[in-house]
Amino acid sequence: GQNIDQPTEMTATEGAIVQINCTYQTSGFNGLFWYQQHAGEAPTFLSYNVLDGLEEKGRFSSFLSRSKGYSYLLLKELQMKDSASYLCAVRDSTSGTYKYIFGTGTRLKVLA
Amino acid sequence: DAGITQSPRYKITETGRQVTLMCHQTWSHSYMFWYRQDLGHGLRLIYYSAAADITDKGEVPDGYVVSRSKTENFPLTLESATRSQTSVYFCASSEPRTDPKNIQYFGAGTRLSVL
């Protein structure tokens, strides 16, 4: 089967670092995505990993270990505007086409 | 550049009625997707389409119908709406032929209430 797990909620302080973990099980892994979603808005793309290792983009980094079925999103120098839900998604190509399975999302609250 | 647009943004209907949610993208992306988002479930894939005239079921297709006669449009129809279909519906598109990451771009969503 296909399954993605991530914590439901996290809280951190402005200026701090937070790590949001994601574990997954899928038969046709073809990439892992992180999306940011502010309340009442559409998800927007943050990062993509298809090979093992760390991808860095400004204050955001994402890590992938395919053998462990594990990824994390690291947010540095937290700002109030980072308060949002962070969605982990796996792309599956088992059927020969691409489809995406999303986790339930992690709601991050950044406190002043 | 309009991108991907959904209409209507808000819809209230009654159980048993047919409802169609529209999705239009201007990028000529080959892939289009419909998701529903409910508290505690995250985004769940309803249907997706790899190209015009090609559609496939996702995780929760029951009660929904899609069509894709043109690349730019991917309407989602609830044939006989039920209260359990009250949700926020997101449409997305992507293009693997020109984007190695095949990133999905989402519309603003349609908030549907079935009374």
pLDDT number for residue A3? 87
Q: What is the pLDDT of residues B19-68, one digit of tens each?
A: 999 999 999 999 999 999 998 888 999 999 999 999 999 999 999 999 99
Query: How much is the pLDDT for A94?
Result: 83
pLDDT at B68: 97
Q: How many other β-carbons are positioned within 10 Å of the β-carbon of residue A22?
A: 25
Burial class (CB in 10 A: 0-12, 13-18, 19+), B78: buried
pLDDT at B5 exceeding the cut of 70:
yes
Answer yes or no: is pLDDT of A26 > 70: yes
Distance from CA of B107 to the nearest CA of A (A): 6
Confidence of residue A52 (pLDDT cuts 50, 70, 90): very high
Instruction: Tell me the pLDDT tens digit for each residue of B74-114.
Output: 999 999 999 999 999 999 999 989 998 999 999 999 999 99
**CA proximity to A68, closest of A46, A81, A53, A48:** A53
CB contact under 8 A, B42 and A87: yes
* Contact yes or no for B102 and A103 at CB 8 A: no
> What pLDDT shows up at residue A1?
61
Q: CB–CB of B24/B75 below 8 Å?
A: no
Mean pLDDT for the stretch of residues A45-58: 95
Is A48–B101 a contact, with Cβ atoms under 8 angstroms apart? yes
| Residue B1, pLDDT score | 56
Which residues of B fall within a CB distance of 8 Å from A97? 31, 48, 50, 56
Arithmetic mean of pLDDT, A8-18: 97
Distance CA B74, CA B92 (A): 10
Mean confidence (pLDDT) of chain A: 94
CA dist., res. A82 & res. A112, Å (int) = 12
Identify the pLDDT of residue A2.
Answer: 72
| pLDDT tens digits, A78-111 | 999 999 999 999 998 887 888 899 999 999 999 9
Closest CB from B41, B48, B107 relative to A99: B48
